Amino acid sequence: MTSDQPIDPPADATSHRDGETSFGEETLESSHHAEAPIPDSFFSKTSDAPPASDPDDDPVPDRIGDYDVIGTLGKGGMGIVYLARQKAANRTVALKVIRPEHLAGMTAEQRERALTRFRTEAQAAARLDHENMVTLYDVGESNGQQFLSMRYVQGRSLAEILRFGPIDNRPAATYIRQVCRALDEAHRQGILHRDLKPQNILIDAKTDRALVTDFGLAKLTEQEDGLTRDGDVMGTPQYMSPEQARDSAGVTVRSDVYAIGATLYHMLTARPVFQAATVWETLRQVMDRQPVSPRQLNPAIDLDLDTICLKCLEKDPTGRYKSAGDVADELDRYLSGVPILARPISTLGRLRRWSRRNRLIAASAATALGCLVFAFIAVSVSLVQTRSAFERSELSFKQALDAVNDFFTTVSEETLLDQPGLKPLRHDLMRQALQYYDRFLVQRANDPTIADLMGVTHYRVGLITAEIESHEAALDHFDRAIEIQRRGLEDRPQSQVGLRELANSYNARGDSLYHLGRWESSLNSFRQSKRLRQQLVELQSDSIEYRRLLANADMNLGIVFKRCGNLPAAFDALGAATELREQLSQEHPDHPSVLRDVAKGYYALGGVYAQQGMMDSARTYYDRAIDSFSQLVQMPGAIDDHYLLSGSHFARAGLLEEPAGAIEGFRRAMREMAPVAAINPNVDKYQMMLINCGFEIAFRYEQLGQIDDAASTLRSASRTAIALARRDDRSAQEVARILLELARLESSGQGETAMWIHYQRLATDALEELPQSPTLTQLVQEIDSRVESLSN
């Protein structure tokens, strides 16, 4: 049940039984409710390597002052950031300069304001010195170009990381706490950031430390020289506080606190708090709408973290934390397991807010609420009666424990129960098993004759707790299991059963520590697991199972090493895992589990190479994954292998720059998935694979100028999304996303009003097919309002 190959945050932490690896660090399953494959590139490519300059852009200068320019790192609203080498200091830097085209069309007054703002950024950044800020080296001018020289950080921005899905609770809290400490230091020096967002937070690949960058909108709060004029709107709408959306001149420290909450929200849910089709509609939502609780979008979010996030996002600045330092202190309490000071908004409080916005509906809801309370009491009484009846039945201890073990094994290993729609049932069944295990632990706690059973039971309770409660709570059970199992091995050091059980417990402990962001501790546990599994292989070298488990241990180590930024160690461990798996495959070419391990390992290596910008190697390993999965789909019981094969085609196609070749690759992915999806319509991840392939194909068609083909592909994707939304309204967001792209394509060149009218027609048609969808109902209302505004 626990994964032998942990899934790197922010990917989905879907559980797998020990001995089976997950699909890899770049898992095909995201944290989206439908467990959809997240395209590696929809509108842009991402890699850890510095991006090459776009040949269609303005030429990159060879030199700026004392700096030899290597290439373009990125562009912002006012600045271009180059990768450069400073000759005098002999170091690689990020060099930010004013964009020439930004100044060219300005009046003299506008030009002076832009340059003044740029110098303000330099003054602000030069005064800041903190371990969680990007260091400013130099400020200067060359041939009329203003520039800033900053430390070049090897790593990725949070925005890039979040394209793969949300970040787990503890890593997200750890990163945002570091951001808070940096902002608190800036605030103490009178400097506001004013544009905090995932794009402006870098994660250092070497230290795994969050670094705040781009104080490009910083305001020196002690100055009164009017650098920010009343009425200006500066910042990024999705992360902007309501008061900043109304007037940038009125921002305070608590405006940055709001941005902290908006960034944390995005980290936990993989989506902004508010995001509409236009900037002004987004700003209207920021000012007028209450945010949806992050836990409603991602139930895996801890309640305390949800509470902290929503307190930062209060519309009224006085309802937020007073400072970034206060947020950091609150996150310290959360990470330390100490009760936080903030309290969740009560049910009554939420009801009052909702009632103010929905006065007519609130009146009729009061009667329904009374019926709901009555039904809840009836169900509760029935549950108590059922439990009492069960307690009266007695089985022998051994029979009872065997029965629960069989039940646990069946539930944890049943693939169908791991589908999104059945996960609530899976968790309910797990809770039933947990109740019996807990009772056994209490009743037999002092029985020395069953120590082995106690160890295994703690291990299994830990697995269940990690899945349905938290990894933090699971650690205590894994530690107890390890303590008991280590004592047992003192008398029987060569016991294969004892070695395997202890290795499994260390592996499970490493997995939970990994998801909690404790990388070094996770590595230590995985090292122990590998050591024990190595002993098992030495005791029985012909065991397929023991060798598979040893390879999985190396894969785990490789993924954690990569997460820590130790790439040489990561490649060594991943290479060792792949080598052992390939040996097993040669010896047992018809063994499905062995071949599946090999294929998943190839896929994982392809993803690692792709992220490092080593595209030839990435293609090689994706091709190997495709060959291996192609063999697996010929074997009986290989339904999910079709999905994995489709995902491998999808990943490889995403590496192709040439649109026609990419289209063919995504079509291969669709051809592989379509028959399986047709006979398994209730498996959401299969349907999402088809939808995402359609999106990618439509985008490539648009690149080729084949607008009709792009639109036809999107219409097909919308039909699949509508079918999904009939089962789960959250998929209506996919419908909205597709229809917006379709409206944009089919009304290209006709103006904004025409686009909105077409979007209105498409969304209204979709609502007729999904009349009970709250998401589409709200969408149509907002589109109607927008069209009316444009018409007036």
Contact call for residues 667 and 700 (beta carbons, < 8 A): no
Overall size of the chain counted in residues: 792
What's the rounded Cα separation, in Å, for the pair 779 and 392?
53
Distant-in-sequence, close-in-space partners of 678: CB < 8 Å, separation ≥ 6: none
What's the rounded Cα separation, in Å, for the pair 30 and 11?
5
Among all chains, which residue has been given the structure tokens 């330099």? 122
Please list the residues that pair with 71 across neighbouring strands: 83
Which uninterrupted H or E stretch holds 386? helix 359-391
Active site residue 195: yes
Q: Token pair of 582, please?
A: 């390939």
Q: Where are the alpha helices (DSSP H) in 45-168?
A: 100-104, 108-126, 158-162
- Which position among 40, 195, 597, 684 bears the catalytic label? 195
Task: Give the CA dihedral 655, 660, 664, 670, nearest 10 degrees.
Answer: 80
Pairing of strands 191-192, 67-75: unpaired
What's the rounded Cα separation, in Å, for the pair 272 and 266?
5
Tell whether residue 206 is among the known ligand binding residues: no
Complete DSSP assignment for 241-269? -HHHHH-GGG--HHHHHHHHHHHHHHHHH
Which one-letter DSSP state was computed for residue 133? Answer: B
What's the rounded Cα separation, in Å, for the pair 144 and 494?
75
The three-state DSSP-derived secondary structure of 503-519 is: HHHHHHHHHHHHHCCCH
What's the order of all strands across the beta sheet hosting 67-75?
A: 63-64, 67-75, 79-86, 91-98, 145-151, 136-142
Could you tell me the CA-to-CA distances from 286 to 255, 258, 274, 500, 644 in Å, in that order? 12, 11, 7, 54, 40
Active site residues: 195
Q: Write out the binding residues.
A: 96
Binding-site entries for ATP? 96
